[in-house]
Chain A
Amino acid sequence: MSMTKLPGWRELPEGAVVRDVGNTETIDVSGWRVFKPVIIDEKCTRCRLCWIYCPDGAILEVVDEKARMGKRYEVDYMHCKGCGICWRECPVNAIEWVPEER
């Protein structure tokens, strides 16, 4: 997260109420990662376990008519913290654990 100018107290909402709910979505946590998961689509059996066990909701289930079984799985690299649960829990080893390069 880059440092921007923080709002002063006059600009803050009354009672410190957050009106724009779910706005942590705009935070980029990719900097937490050392390794990143890469899904190999050919090996994936669409078992959905990575999507279920991801604590950050960073595995996306994309509906795609062209893909096998009508959907495919993608990693949301902005919200993935690189915990590796998906990689360890994948029953067919369709997720590779690749060192992050920047």
Chain B
Amino acid sequence: MSLKEVGPMQEIRNHMQIPREEYIAGGHSACQGCGHFVIVRHLLKAAGPNTIVVNPTGCLEVVTTVFPYSSWRVPWIHVAFENGGAVASGVEAAIKSLQRKGVLPKDEQINVVVFAGDGGTVDIGFQSLSGMLERGHKVVYVLLDNEAYMNTGIQRSGSTPFGAWTTTTPVGKKWKGEWRVRKDMIQIAVAHHIPYAATINPAYPVDMYNKMVKALKANGPAFLHAYSPCPTGWRFDPSKTIEVARLAVLTGYWVLYEYDHGQYKVNVPVLKRKPVKEFIKLQGRFRHMTEEQVKKLQEIIDQHVEMINKLVGKQVIGPVVE
């Protein structure tokens, strides 16, 4: 480790300070250009070796642990779709109990991190997540959102955006992709009165790293909503993963903000927003969209941006500039 780099659980100022140690090994069978691994690599670097990972079923679990192989260099538990939050609560309670009995050292912090997909969080694992947040376990819950059930073959989830094609919202004469508006998971998490919740994006690694450190240091449950582009399910070239992630921020589709002990803050202000057309034209899942649908999607994004501007109290995300 050079002098510039920092140890785990410390905030960084630029990307040169990200530590070199890898806690997830290469050679896993994720698709080319998978957004999950850009996120998980850096979040584990931020958490360090003193971490227990709870991983409900999903892409991440399937590709990293093909028996008899494992990519994880930290303790890892696989659980079913619906109980990621519950198992993480149990792990955290067990650590607390063992620390009280003196089996584990009392001053050492053991991080419990959940990496769940959007199916395992937004739909199936919703109740256990809610219970975990309500009981106040000191767990960091990371939602890796690729906006559909990619692992089983691109079925829609509660996080699929308006207009997107999936195999269960097909495009034909009557159906033109998803017609419902996605859930706002950050607002749901904040409604549980937790200390820390934030959105993260792999195109902004320093922001992502610092938010993980803040989440680990929060005194209670923390929720991170990660935007994870999926070349296979979204139908774009694998080399454009980061480009798509960046455009999501620049168009206001994905606002990078945090809720830190009652205070909202936008971490990446976008003064001149790009029209959402630029973001959707890269992806095959939006290819069928008519002018009206694009207009509707733009309206949904405008409403979301307006809501965030109101929460922050000033205009941090600007208007659309062609």
Contacts and interface: CB of A to CB of B under 8 A. Distances in A.
Contacts of A18: 65, 67-70
- SS class, residues of chain B in contact with chain A: loop
B290 interface: no
A53 B41 CA distance: 10
Interface string A19-55: 0111111111100100000000000000011001111
Given A18-B67, A55-B241, A83-B32, A24 B27 contact: yes
Interface string B11-44: 0000110101010111111101111111001100
B161 interface: no
A100 interface: no
B242 A22 contact: no
Contacts of A23: 25, 68-70
Interface stretch (B102-110, B139-147, B232-240): B232-240
A94 interface: no
Contacts of A22: 25, 70-73
Interface residues of B, number: 42
A57 B67 contact: no
B69 A84 contact: no
A85 B238 contact: yes
- SS class, residues of chain A in contact with chain B: loop
A68 interface: no
A24 B231 CA distance: 22
Contacts of A87: 239
A56 B37 contact: yes
A72 interface: no
B239 A88 contact: yes
A52 B15 contact: yes
A13 B42 CA distance: 31
Contacts, number: 114
Interface residues of A, number: 38
A79 B32 contact: no
A93 to B, nearest CB: 14
B127 interface: no
B205 interface: yes
Contact of B35 (A48, A55, A56, A79): A55
Interface string B223-235: 0000000010000
Contact of B41 (A7, A20, A57, A85): A57
B64 interface: yes
Interface in B150-185: none
A31 B278 CA distance: 33
Nearest to B75: A21
A57 B24 contact: yes
B70 A32 contact: no
Nearest to A70: B2
A14 B16 CA distance: 43
Contacts of A12: 68
Given A23-B25, A25-B27, A55-B38, A88 B67 contact: no
A83 B239 contact: yes
18 contacts: A7-B68, A12-B68, A13-B68, A16-B67, A18-B67, A18-B69, A26-B69, A48-B15, A52-B15, A55-B35, A56-B26, A56-B30, A79-B26, A79-B27, A85-B238, A88-B239, A89-B242, A89-B243
Given A24-B71, A29-B26, A88-B242, 8 more contacts: A24-B70, A25-B26, A48-B15, A55-B35, A55-B37, A55-B41, A56-B27, A56-B28
List the 6 closest pairs (A to B, CB-CB), nearest first.
A84-B239, A79-B26, A83-B33, A55-B37, A83-B32, A27-B27
Interface of B: 2, 15-16, 18, 20, 22, 24-30, 32-38, 41-42, 64-73, 202, 205, 231, 237-243
